[in-house]
Chains A and B, each alone.
Chain A
């Protein structure tokens, strides 16, 4: 799309005012549907980092109580959009989206099969 200088300025001002609307608030309410990592299952393979469209997943490493290192991923709650790309990529079922746990989805499929 071609855009003149005036249009470009208007466009920029529009974007700025939209941002101002968000950052002027002290609290931000966002959708509760976000990804959650199950730390016990995650082994830090980091397959979920690349597919995330919001770049909300980071690989972290921490020391456990017994002194061994544990690799795992961390979800940035503010960035996560809840699309579930990480869930579909995870080979260990270690990450799920709130309300869309694999068990919940399989239960829905089960209920389909039980219908007469």
Chain B
């Protein structure tokens, strides 16, 4: 029997909100797929677009998520706003590299929204399962 495709998702989570949301999801025992691998960053504004593009174009991941605090809640004033403007550049670059727009996602998750984190992780895994593997992987 052929094994079902299991996507690998890298999630850059900000230290103050989304990382704690993942923690809250665990505490509240919300189930989410093990395809999501979290990397802790100080702020979502710390994620260089190159990190995202390298992860995708070197075939290291099938999808990338950047999770930050809600707008206005950033621990560093406006880091998430900058992450948002960078994400527009990332979407343009995805087009240039021939990757689907669904492979990248920017989400605002506060520390109390464990359920939302679990939901987004599930959604992302589902869409990537439908899309199939990243063709840079081979």
Chain A residues within CB distance 8 Å of chain B: 33, 51, 53-54, 81-85, 87-90, 97, 100, 102, 105-106, 108-110, 112-113, 115
B contact residues around A81 at 8 Å (CB): 76
Chain B residues whose CB sits within 8 angstroms of the CB of A97 once the complex forms: 42, 46
Q: How large is the interface on B (under 10, 10 to 19, 20 to 34, 35 or more residues)?
A: 20 to 34
Asked if B61 and A100 make an inter-chain contact with CB atoms under 8 angstroms apart, the answer reads: no
Contacts of B50 in A (CB 8 A): 102
Q: Within the assembled complex, what's the spacing in Å between the Cα atoms of A106 and B52?
A: 10
On B, residues with C-beta under 8 Å from A are 8, 10, 37, 39, 41-43, 45-51, 54-55, 59-61, 75-79, 82-83, 86
Given contacts A83-B76, A83-B79, contact A100 B46 (CB under 8 A): yes
Chain B residues, Cβ within 8 Å of A53: 76-79
Please tell me if the beta carbons of A85 and B46 are within 8 angstroms of each other in the complex: yes
Q: Point out the residue from A33, A54, A85, A110 that lies within 8 Å of B45, measured CB to CB.
A: A85
With a cutoff of 8 Å between Cβ atoms, the chain A residues found around residue B83 in the complex are 88
Nearest 10 Cβ contacts at the A-B interface? A84-B46, A83-B76, A113-B60, A53-B77, A112-B37, A83-B43, A88-B48, A85-B45, A53-B76, A109-B55
Known: A33-B42, A109-B60. A85 touches B51 (CB 8 A): no
Nearest-Cβ distance from residue A103 to partner chain B, whole angstroms: 11
Residues of B within 8 A of A108 (CB): 39
Q: Are B41 and A84 in contact (CB under 8 A)?
A: yes
Complex: chain A residue closest to B37, CB-CB: A112
Residue among A51, A83, A110, A115 making CB contact with B42, cutoff 8 Å:
A83
